[in-house]
Amino acid sequence: MRVLLVDDEEELVSALAERLLLRDIDAEWFTTGTDALQRVESGCFDLAVLDMKMPKISGLALREKLHAKCPAMKFIFLTGYGSEKDFASATAKVGTADYLVKPVDIEVLLGRMHELLNSERGVK
């Protein structure tokens, strides 16, 4: 499994990538959408885990751009939204199945990754 991680919180995304690598998942991390887009020029990933709220390119806008380059790539969104209302408005945009609220349990994230890759119900 090849996973692209994008979050502007460097100490978060680098630690998450390391944890996935320790579980034999090939993970690469970036702190900006621009860098991630540049990276996919040289090859696609199976799945991308994107922070919803990032400067310059939001997670949702980045998904559109990544999907245009890599149509088969699946997506999971992470967010710091705290309230039920925030959660509802965000899930309306992306679908609850592909959306996790920070802090995320690694086992929950792994479960969601496998679910997405073993089925065809990812957000395209």
103 preceded by a cis bond (ω within 30 of 0): yes
Residue 22 binds other proteins, judged by CB under 8 A: yes
The Cα–Cα gap between 91 and 49 comes to: 15
Min dist CB 2 to other proteins, Å, is: 20
Distance of CA 63 to the CA centre of its chain: 9
3 three-state secondary structure:
strand
Side chain identity, residue 11 = E
Instruction: Determine which residue in the list 2, 65, 67, 102 makes contact with other proteins, applying CB under 8 A.
Output: 102
Choose between 60 and 70: whose C-beta lies nearer to other proteins.
60
Choose between 101 and 117: whose C-beta lies nearer to other proteins.
101
Query: Considering CB under 8 A, how many residues would be counted as binding other proteins?
Result: 21
20 three-state secondary structure:
helix
- Which residues in this chain contact other proteins in the complex, by CB under 8 A? 9, 11-12, 15-16, 18-19, 22, 53, 55-56, 78, 80-83, 86, 102-104, 106
